[in-house]
Amino acid sequence: DGPSDGSAGPDGVHAFLHVDADGALAAAEAADRAIAEGGPVSPLAGVPVALKDNLTTTDMPTTCASRILDGWRPPYDATVVARLRAAGLVPLGKTNLDEFAMGSSTENSAFGPTRNPWDLTRVPGGSGGGSSASVAAGEAPLALGSDTGGSIRQPGAVTGTVGVKPTYGTVSRYGLVAFSSSLDQIGPCARSVLDAALLHEVVGGHDRCDQTSVNAPLPPVVEAALAGARGDLAGVRVGVVGELSGEGYQPGVLAAFTDAVRTLGELGAEVVEVSCPSFSYALPAYYLIAPSEASSNLARFDAMRYGLRVGDDGERSTDEVMSLTREAGFGAEVKRRIMIGTHALSAGSYDALYGKAQKARTLIVRDFTAAFETCDVLVSPTTPTTAFAIGERVDDPLAMYLADLCTIPANLAGNAALSVPCGTSPDDGLPVGLQVMAPALADDRAYRVAAAYE
């Protein structure tokens, strides 16, 4: 049992916004029956899974941790949710997030923050802090998140769990409430690399309901995780990205990362230094592109079609009701993004802001392409710091955005990346994540390396 009333739950973590105990029990019993009948069942049949609350579900609310969706019930399941159900997994409930997945700490939720199970005074990362914290706290063995700029990997790193951002387009976004459509990607959160791979194969693969879905076979990630678990990385070339470590990184994070790189070498990998000079543009480019797309995607919350409607007294105009609803329904960060995005897309600024960000994005893609000519995978710390204190960065958006420094390049380029736990920082005893990045459609390489390391 867990909270379905928005409380923090018995352990004070507040990973869930909604728990569907009855639904979960029924799904678990159905999976038991299928197993008893000896029919073909998925290896994960009967396993509970927590769902980030920006995935649509017909039998549970979908809030995106926003007031603006108050009372809305989606008429359809997200493709990933439908696939989970078909494979006999047990949806447990909906997990907390930064409102509309905008944030790096889960503090931007309209329903209160989630806390890091390692230290309840610290954030669990974001935006998918609820999903990662539910796995770290042992409340769910598996969870799904969405990663637009790091929201699966960054919370994974700071909660000591595995988080995967698959190649863009390889897991359907149908039923994921859109934030930044050219960056958004659903992926697994788990306690081990193999668990993540098993969930990845249940939800991944082509879907004709998503126009950006890649019509190619899903990389063999389970096979790769099993192969990696033998612990042999002979012949694998690992590139350490020079630009993603050094100044601004906590010494304890760098110490754990250096140890991890040494271990990869001991497992037989050939470790080389690589340079990706354009990665320095990733953060500013992302914080123009993501808000631009968000300003367009969030235009649908117009007080007419979904959830909340404020001030509709029969006297006010549609425009007045829309603006009163948005004023009351959106939190400060969402409003900030809509304003930045609208400005970046406006006629007078388009070339100088949005257009320039797209050029930077192309340079980042080229850096990846060049690096993958000499390396099979690239590695970096997943985050520059361990989990920070609740409240520490809420009034400083730029400090908050820095949490995504290492994760954003993979979203801009669309390639695969994951975070695997790499011990704790000697500074504060908190978990550190190792990021493994692979070319698009070579997710299996990242799984193999991470499983060998783990």
Residues 382-421, one symbol each (x = binds ligand GLN by CB under 6 A, - = not), give ----------------------x-----------------
> Is residue 102 a contact residue for ligand GLN (CB under 6 A)?
yes
For strand 48-52 and strand 237-241, is the pairing parallel, antiparallel, or unpaired? Answer: unpaired
> Is residue 42 a contact residue for ligand GLN (CB under 6 A)?
no
What is the Cα–Cα distance from 48 to 45, expressed in whole angstroms? 9
> Is residue 331 a contact residue for ligand GLN (CB under 6 A)?
no
Residues forming beta bridges with residue 288, ordered by sequence position: none
> Is residue 243 a contact residue for ligand GLN (CB under 6 A)?
no
> Is residue 201 a contact residue for ligand GLN (CB under 6 A)?
no
Task: Supply angle C-alpha 141, 147, 151, rounded to 5.
Answer: 75
> Is residue 156 a contact residue for ligand GLN (CB under 6 A)?
no
Task: Supply angle C-alpha 95, 101, 107, rounded to 5.
Answer: 75
Residues 8-27, one symbol each (x = binds ligand GLN by CB under 6 A, - = not), give --------------------
151 in catalytic set: yes
Q: How far apart are the first and last CA of the chain?
A: 31
**Closest approach of Cβ 440 to ligand GLN, in Å?**
18
Q: Which residue has 């018995």 as its token pair?
A: 10
The sign of the dihedral angle between the CA atoms of 211, 214, 217, 222 is negative
- Selected from 109, 148, 278, 386, the binder of ligand GLN by CB under 6 A is 148
> Is residue 113 a contact residue for ligand GLN (CB under 6 A)?
no
433 three-state secondary structure = strand
Q: Is 242 exposed, middle or buried (0-12, 13-18, 19+ CB in 10 A)?
A: middle
Question: Which span sits near ligand GLN by CB under 6 A: 95-103, 155-163, 312-320, 372-380?
Answer: 95-103
CB closer to ligand GLN, 206 vs 336: 336
CB closer to ligand GLN, 28 vs 405: 405
What letter represents residue 319's amino acid?
A: D
**Closest approach of Cβ 387 to ligand GLN, in Å?**
14
- Selected from 96, 106, 109, 151, the binder of ligand GLN by CB under 6 A is 151
What is the Cα–Cα distance from 129 to 113, expressed in whole angstroms? 9
Question: Which span sits near ligand GLN by CB under 6 A: 102-110, 197-205, 226-234, 421-429?
Answer: 102-110
382 three-state secondary structure = coil
> Is residue 101 a contact residue for ligand GLN (CB under 6 A)?
yes
Q: Catalytic residue among 42, 151, 292, 425, which?
A: 151
CB closer to ligand GLN, 54 vs 278: 54
Q: Catalytic residue among 109, 127, 295, 425, which?
A: 127
> Is residue 127 a contact residue for ligand GLN (CB under 6 A)?
yes
Residues forming beta bridges with residue 424, ordered by sequence position: 431
349 in catalytic set: no
**Closest approach of Cβ 287 to ligand GLN, in Å?**
8
For strand 162-165 and strand 186-190, is the pairing parallel, antiparallel, or unpaired? Answer: antiparallel
Question: Which span sits near ligand GLN by CB under 6 A: 149-157, 197-205, 234-242, 430-438?
Answer: 149-157
Burial state string for 284-307 with b = 16 or more CB within 10 A and e = fewer than 16: ebbbbbbbbbbbbbbeebbbeebb
CB closer to ligand GLN, 309 vs 361: 361
- Selected from 93, 124, 149, 439, the binder of ligand GLN by CB under 6 A is 149
> Is residue 103 a contact residue for ligand GLN (CB under 6 A)?
yes
Residue in 67, 111, 102, 57 with CA at minimum distance from that of residue 329: 67
127 in catalytic set: yes
Strand order in the sheet with 90-95: 16-19, 90-95, 48-52, 142-146, 186-190, 162-165, 416-424, 431-438, 377-381, 237-241, 270-274
- Selected from 61, 150, 169, 187, the binder of ligand GLN by CB under 6 A is 150
Binding site for ligand GLN (CB under 6 A): 101-104, 127, 146-151, 179, 290, 404
Indicate which residues carry an active-site annotation: 52, 127, 151
